[in-house]
Every structure is written in structure tokens, then in C-alpha cells.
Amino acid sequence: MGLTPRMLSWIGRIAIAIFLVFGMANCTRLGLNYASLDIEGKPTAWPPVADEPETFLQNREMWKIRLEDHIFGPFPEGLASKRISHKVIDDNYLHGLGTLEEYIIEISGAGNTKRFTLGIAWPKTETPAPLIISQSFCGNQTAFQTAAMSPPLTPGVTDFCGSGEGSVMSRVAQLVFGRYIASPPMEQVLSRGYAYASFYTSELIPDSSGAARAMMPDFPHAERGEISGAVAGWAAGFSAALHVLENDHRIDAARTAIIGHSRSGKSALVAGSYDERIDAVIAHQAGTGGTALSRAKAGETVPEMLENYPHWFSPAYQEFDAGGAYTTPVDMHVLIALNAPTPLLIGNGRRDVWSDPNGTWRAMLEAAPVYEAAGGNSLKQDTMQTPNLDANLVFWMRPGGHSITATDWDAWLTWLDNVMPQGEEVPAAPNAASMPPT
């Protein structure tokens, strides 16, 4: 019996699924090992900043320039942004829980412009809502679980996951990276009173080395010069979205948070270090080039990351020497410290050794005195396993690997309630005894 078109279709889907499972797993090296909880004998952050945190704060611009020169390239700070169009997609979103809308945003600078699509779900509340802005790995159709959202504007860029949450690629992505990697628990977010906005990173700058490098000279930039890494451009998307939304009467502009996972965690940290309007940052499993120290590193090294994703960073990062004891001109504790005093939660998975929770913990220990000096209610936990969700600097680690889970979202929303209080009683922060074992 010959193969029918239906059988061929399923064979093709299975082949794609197998390819994605192995390809994605290779990207993040989903391991079976546990991250070490022991920091004895491991390199401390270099250059040190903890001994003189006030001096660090006085020299913030110098440290930003050092990060730009060696890692991220120029940040397009101060770009103009405006709303080009706005439409209501669904006034009865999620059976009346919220309203789903869509904006076209244009950013401009140095004679260049770039447009991207921002989706936003509004809770149906009487008072201004706190805002979460996130970046999606797939596209707005998947992020908001409806094909009614517009496809990406950028030529050649499509929704990675197809046309929504039910697509084969979306299901495979969730299988590998967790239930909420492609779309958040929107019912929970809206029920907690938050507005949720999201844009597709590849619509802003394609997540492909050749296409990204070709676009960068035409990407809007400011006086710091042309961007040379996609992370900096993606970070500018957070600021552009906030600029458009902060004047909307439905938003409480004093309670705006940004969330990023993996590469978007890196861009969230960059955005938080430049944009003082941001009131809270969640950087989840940002790893190398984001939160983890680079010297004597467990998991992904700088050369390994640059081999796979050279377009994320400035070409100067290729020369980064993380091998010696005192050879790193700057490391990721500086990026963490530059977010002070903005509340910052850094997420980790105990089995996500590739992202190096241990190196992230050591980076946070070095940055914590800067938060304290900035009046930021600094790190209030003694170990990697005892998060204090009342603090402004939090190391969060749950079981599992490189993913986004229900446990993550429960903790994130509780923390945001705590650091962006809503003028009413909010859920108490879990204590160590109630945390899941790691």
C-alpha cells in the first residue's frame, strides 16, 4: 500500500518534531546533572565591585561603556518611538476575562526607522493595571493563543511556532522547554490584575546570524553609534513598548515590569540597566552573557555561545578571555549591579547546568552590596535554595531544566505583587519551607 498524503503529512511532522527536540536540546544542553551548591574554591567576580559599591554607583556610565565595548555593543539609548496604529483584536478575550489589542510601533533614530507589532491583553478592571512586558520566542499568534493576531511585519520572518499554541512546533517547544515557553498562563496573569504585553524578538531583529548582521547597520541608533549585537536591539524594544504604553490611562506607570527568558533574559537585564522607568525586572536563566560569571565556567562557555549565536553580541566579545584569573575586562556581575536599585529577580533551574546557576549566584553575591548601597533592599537569602520573595534582589531556583513552568510564574507574580504593591493585601511571599525541593 502506498503512502497517502495524510500519512506523509504525519511523517513530516514527526521528522520536524525529532529535529526540533534534538536541535533545541543541543542549543541549551539540557542536562541530567545538578548545579553545584558549593562556591568554595570557585573564582570570584572580576573586576570586584562589592568593596566600594558607592564608587561603582558614581561611575555607572563608565561601566556601561565597558559592557558595550567588550560584550553588547552600543545600546540605542533614547530612541524616539510612536504608535502607528492600534486595533482591538478581541473585546471578549478568554471568555470575557480581558481585552486583546494590537499596536504597530515605530522606533526611529539616526535617520532609520523600524516597526514591530506589540500585542497586549488588558484585564477588565476599574483601576489602572500594573504592566508586564515580555518578549516571545515564537510570535504574537502563539503568545496570545489566537491566530487573529497579525503575522510579523519583517519580510522573511514568520511565527516560529506556526499559527498558534496548537501547532506541532509549539507543542514540541513546550515539550522541551516547559508549558509556558511559547505563551504565558494568560488567565492567571489577567486574573491577578496584570496587563500583559509581548513582542516577537525576531520581528525586531531576526534571530539568525546572517539576517541580523545585515539588518544592524539600518537599525535605529543614537549617539552611541550603530548597534553591533541583537541583544542590545531587542532590549530597545522593551523601552519602545513602555514609551508607547506608559501614557495609556489603563496602565499604572509606576508599576511596570519586564520579563525575559534565556536570550531575552539578557536583553531584559540590558534594558533594566538603561531605562529608569522600568520598575521591576525578571531575568530567567539568562546564563552566559547575561547573569553567569565567565571565568572557570560550568556549562556554556563564551566561545561555545559565540559559535552558535555570534549575532547576539558585539564582535569584540570574540576576544573575551575568560581563562585567566584576572583577564576579564568586565563580567556579568556588573550588568546585574547596573540594574540597582530596580527590583530584580534572577531565575534558575537546578538541572540547568548549561546556564550555570552557581556562577549566577556568585555574580549576585558580588552585585548585592551595590544594591544595598543604592537603597535597593538587597539580597535577603543565605543560600541558593532559600529565596526571599520580599527582597528587591532575588536568586530564584526551582527543580528542572531550561524552561518556564507554572512554579516559575507563581513565584514571579507573587514577587511582583510584593515589589510593586497594589495598595491592597497581596499574597504572602513563600518561605523556604514552602519552596519546592531543588
- The residue with cell 564608587 is 55
> What per-residue confidence (pLDDT) applies to 432?
33
Domain boundaries, the chain: 5-434
> What per-residue confidence (pLDDT) applies to 182?
81
> What per-residue confidence (pLDDT) applies to 44?
87
Q: For residue 52, what is the enclosing H or E element?
A: none
Residues 105 and 118: beta-carbon distance below 8 Å = yes
> What per-residue confidence (pLDDT) applies to 169?
52
Q: Which CATH architecture has domain 5-434?
A: 3-Layer(aba) Sandwich (3.40)
CA distances from 90 to 95, 134, 197, 364 (A): 10, 20, 15, 42
> What per-residue confidence (pLDDT) applies to 20?
44
User: What single-letter amino acid sits at 65?
Assistant: I
CA distances from 425 to 53, 161, 248 (A): 34, 39, 25
> What per-residue confidence (pLDDT) applies to 402?
94
Q: How far apart are the first and last CA of the chain?
A: 52
Long-range Cβ contacts of 276-279 (<8 Å, 24+ apart): 276/342, 277/239, 277/242, 277/246, 277/253, 278/238, 278/242, 278/342, 279/254, 279/255, 279/342, 279/343, 279/419, 279/420
> What per-residue confidence (pLDDT) applies to 8?
39
> What per-residue confidence (pLDDT) applies to 170?
52
**In this structure, are strands 251-261 and 344-349 parallel, antiparallel, or unpaired?**
unpaired
> What per-residue confidence (pLDDT) applies to 297?
84
> What per-residue confidence (pLDDT) applies to 22?
43
pLDDT per residue, tens digit, the chain (438 aa), is 555 545 434 444 444 444 444 444 444 455 568 999 999 999 889 999 999 999 999 999 999 999 999 999 999 999 999 999 999 999 999 999 999 999 999 999 998 999 999 999 999 999 999 999 999 988 999 999 999 999 999 888 887 676 545 555 555 555 555 568 888 999 999 999 999 999 999 999 999 999 999 999 999 999 999 999 999 999 999 999 999 999 999 999 999 999 999 999 999 999 999 999 999 999 999 999 999 999 878 899 999 999 999 999 999 999 887 766 667 889 999 999 999 999 999 999 999 999 999 999 999 999 999 999 999 789 999 999 999 999 999 999 999 999 999 999 999 999 999 999 874 433 333 333 333 444
Coil, strand or helix: which one is 111?
A: coil
> What per-residue confidence (pLDDT) applies to 4?
53
- Exposed (0-12), middle (13-18) or buried (19+): which is 205, by Cβ within 10 Å? buried
> What per-residue confidence (pLDDT) applies to 322?
73
CB proximity list for 241: less than 8 A, separation 6 or greater: 105, 118, 133, 197, 199
> What per-residue confidence (pLDDT) applies to 49?
97
Q: Which residues are known catalytic residues?
A: 262, 402
